[in-house]
């Protein structure tokens, strides 16, 4: 069974990839702690 993470309409194979990919888009608006909180609240783990 495969799983992935989905946030803001984008899918990522794991949480680390999600954070590394999206951080450059958010770093001008959020602190790293705020970003981590946002991801933990909004990312959805999908099992397939």
Whole-number pLDDT of residue 31: 98
Per residue in 6-42, pLDDT tens?
Answer: 998 999 999 999 999 999 999 999 999 999 999 999 9
- Model confidence, pTM: 0.85
Whole-number pLDDT of residue 20: 97
Whole-number pLDDT of residue 1: 77
Strands (E), 1-48: 3-7, 10-12, 44-47
What is the rounded end-to-end Cα distance, in angstroms, of the chain?
6
Burial 8-47 (b: 16+ CB within 10 A, else e): eeeebeeeeebbeebeeebeeeeeeeebeebbeeebeeee
pLDDT bin (cut points 50, 70, 90) of residue 48 is: confident
Whole-number pLDDT of residue 19: 97
């Amino acid at each position: 069974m495969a799983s992935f993470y989905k946030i803001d309409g984008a899918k990522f194979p794991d949480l680390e990839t999600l954070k590394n990919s999206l951080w450059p888009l958010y770093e001008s608006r959020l602190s790293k702690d705020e970003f981590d909180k946002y991801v933990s609240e909004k990312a959805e783990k999908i099992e397939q």
